[in-house]
């Protein structure tokens, strides 16, 4: 079975690092460390092989995948020169398969990233049929058995009144009426699900989270899942908060301050775009602890750091005899090297679900996301149990 992976935001850091990693694995230059699908019990599933994945995608800017990776190497040392040279030809070939997307209703900061290729005059139904054609041509040109669409594009501002699109009929009427409020992520998601392509939303953007799109996924029996990859500070939080809950240590406050200097950080400087990210990072603590606590998340753009994201968390808690104590941690991660393997994992796992007829939302993938769709469980180890149970059932 040949599987295509269509990356929305294909020329960005996460997508370019995922493509580099997959091709470096294919060429024997690196191993799969960091990928969940490379360890048991997941590794025993009949997943598409990483070296067989065929990449394509949409973007709105013209800097090539090779240039993005070259810049990442120069600024942050990831990947190293040897790995980059091993995959350079592959990156050029894949970049030729990147089509111009749409930045519709993504906010001014994202529109400024685009190279003016979009006129703004195209109707929503025109955009949707163009995206569907792009997916279909890719499948046809490469003789693919399956196409998985993964959104790794910049974070959009949150939607106002998403309940207006609670049913598929509402959503399709909005497209016909050229509704100005529908953001690009929902158009990419709709175009995938309507033609039976599994869809993953690695970003905080709306994507397939609207009621109408969930209905479409159910109706067409297509797997989909989101939102917002859990790769850094929130990952640590979801592993650590259950410790405080389990030992009845009362969290009085949990402050998290993130600084990063890549393009994602630049987009998140815009308060509208930042609102979506802060919302998806913020809501797990109360769920895990079972009570409200002072819980602030800050994200600041610090250009000199490039892709090396630093998070500082300060936890003030109370134990026996009303004793107040503190814990602090600092997380320094290569943002893209943390995210990229999960993109490959998710592509392989939704392809697996599709192959086995598991349509609709995919709760077993909750551990990958900050705000897992239709799953209330935020404790990392319990979320991983969902994945291990799925693997046991399908072995």
Q: How far apart are CA 386 and CA 290, in angstroms?
A: 21
Q: How far apart are CA 223 and CA 67, in angstroms?
A: 33
**Inter-residue contact 50 to 31 (CB < 8 Å):** no
Quick one: tokens of 234?
């929130």
Q: What is the 3-state secondary structure (H, E, C) of 360-383?
A: EECHHHHHHECCCCCCCCCCHHHH
Identify the residue among 203, 295, 364, 367 touching ligand NAD (CB under 6 A): 203
Stretch that binds ligand NAD, among 55-63, 217-225, 243-251, 350-358 (CB under 6 A): 55-63
Cβ-in-10-Å burial (0-12, 13-18, 19+) of 328 comes to exposed
Closest residue by beta carbon to ligand NAD: 12
Size of the residue set binding ligand NAD (CB under 6 A): 34
- If one asks whether residue 78 binds ligand NAD (CB under 6 A), the answer comes out as no
- If one asks whether residue 59 binds ligand NAD (CB under 6 A), the answer comes out as yes
Binders of ligand NAD among residues 18 to 37 (CB under 6 A) are none
- If one asks whether residue 228 binds ligand NAD (CB under 6 A), the answer comes out as yes
Stretch that binds ligand NAD, among 77-85, 103-111, 173-181, 314-322 (CB under 6 A): 103-111
The CA distances from residue 20 to 74, 88, 142, 285, in Å, are 15, 9, 20, 34
- If one asks whether residue 238 binds ligand NAD (CB under 6 A), the answer comes out as no
The DSSP 8-state label assigned to residue 3 in this structure reads E
Least distance CB 232 / ligand NAD (angstroms): 6
Least distance CB 42 / ligand NAD (angstroms): 20
Identify the residue among 3, 105, 109, 263 touching ligand NAD (CB under 6 A): 263
- If one asks whether residue 380 binds ligand NAD (CB under 6 A), the answer comes out as no
Identify the residue among 25, 98, 106, 251 touching ligand NAD (CB under 6 A): 106
- If one asks whether residue 105 binds ligand NAD (CB under 6 A), the answer comes out as no
The DSSP 8-state label assigned to residue 216 in this structure reads H
Q: What is the 3-state secondary structure (H, E, C) of 148-183?
A: EEEECCCCCCCCCCHHHHCCHHHHHHHHHCCCCCCC
Binders of ligand NAD among residues 109 to 128 (CB under 6 A) are 110, 113
Name the residue nearer to ligand NAD (CB basis): 365 or 391: 365
Name the residue nearer to ligand NAD (CB basis): 110 or 251: 110
**Inter-residue contact 342 to 38 (CB < 8 Å):** no
- If one asks whether residue 56 binds ligand NAD (CB under 6 A), the answer comes out as no
- If one asks whether residue 184 binds ligand NAD (CB under 6 A), the answer comes out as yes
- If one asks whether residue 229 binds ligand NAD (CB under 6 A), the answer comes out as yes
- If one asks whether residue 13 binds ligand NAD (CB under 6 A), the answer comes out as yes
Least distance CB 323 / ligand NAD (angstroms): 36
User: DSSP characters for 297-325?
Assistant: EEEEE-GGGTTEEEEEEEEEEE-GGG-EE
Q: What is the 3-state secondary structure (H, E, C) of 44-58?
A: HCCCCCHHHCEEEEE
Binders of ligand NAD among residues 271 to 310 (CB under 6 A) are none
- If one asks whether residue 339 binds ligand NAD (CB under 6 A), the answer comes out as yes
Instruction: Report the DSSP beta bridge partners of residue 311.
Output: 258, 331
- If one asks whether residue 335 binds ligand NAD (CB under 6 A), the answer comes out as yes
**Inter-residue contact 215 to 259 (CB < 8 Å):** no
The CA distances from residue 239 to 28, 112, 232, 275, 384, in Å, are 33, 37, 11, 24, 11
- If one asks whether residue 262 binds ligand NAD (CB under 6 A), the answer comes out as yes
Binding site for ligand NAD (CB under 6 A): 8-9, 11-14, 58-61, 101-103, 106, 110, 113, 152-155, 184, 202-203, 228-229, 231-232, 262-264, 335-336, 338-339
């Amino acid at each position: 079975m040949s599987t295509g992976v269509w990356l929305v935001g294909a020329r960005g850091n996460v997508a370019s690092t995922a493509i580099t990693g997959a091709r470096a694995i294919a060429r024997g230059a690196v191993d799969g460390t960091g990928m969940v699908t490379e360890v048991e019990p997941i590794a025993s599933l009949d997943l598409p092989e990483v070296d067989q994945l065929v990449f394509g995608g949409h973007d709105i800017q013209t800097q090539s995948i090779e240039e993005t990776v070259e810049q990442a190497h120069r600024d942050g040392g990831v990947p190293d020169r040897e790995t980059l040279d091993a995959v350079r030809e592959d990156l050029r070939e894949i970049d030729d398969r990147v089509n111009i997307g749409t930045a519709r209703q993504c906010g001014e900061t994202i529109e400024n990233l685009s190279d003016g290729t979009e006129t703004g005059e195209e109707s929503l139904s025109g955009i949707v049929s163009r995206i569907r054609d792009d997916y279909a041509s890719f499948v046809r040109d490469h003789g693919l058995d399956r196409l998985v669409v993964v959104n790794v594009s910049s974070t959009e501002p949150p939607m106002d009144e998403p309940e207006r699109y609670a049913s598929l009929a509402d959503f399709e009427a909005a497209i016909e009426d050229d509704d100005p409020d529908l953001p690009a992520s929902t158009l990419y998601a709709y175009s995938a699900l309507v033609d039976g392509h599994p869809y993953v939303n690695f970003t905080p953007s709306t994507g397939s989270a609207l009621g109408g799109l969930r209905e479409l996924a159910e109706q067409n029996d297509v797997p989909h899942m989101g939102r917002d990859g859990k790769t850094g500070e929130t990952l640590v939080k979801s592993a650590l908060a259950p410790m405080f809950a389990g030992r009845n240590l009362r969290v009085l406050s949990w402050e998290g301050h993130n600084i990063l200097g890549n393009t994602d950080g630049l987009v998140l400087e815009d308060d509208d775009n930042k609102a979506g990210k802060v919302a998806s990072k913020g809501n797990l603590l109360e769920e895990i602890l079972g009570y409200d606590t002072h819980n602030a998340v800050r994200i600041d753009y610090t250009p000199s750091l490039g892709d090396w994201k630093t998070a500082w968390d300060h936890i003030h808690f109370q134990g026996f005899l009303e004793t107040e104590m503190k814990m602090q941690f600092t997380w320094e991660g290569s943002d893209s090297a943390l995210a990229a393997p999960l993109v490959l994992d998710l592509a392989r796992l939704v392809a697996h679900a599709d192959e086995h007829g598991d349509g609709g939302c995919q709760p077993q993938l909750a551990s990958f996301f900050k705000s897992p769709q239709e799953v209330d469980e935020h404790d990392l180890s319990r979320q991983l149990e969902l994945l291990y149970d799925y693997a046991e059932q399908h072995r």
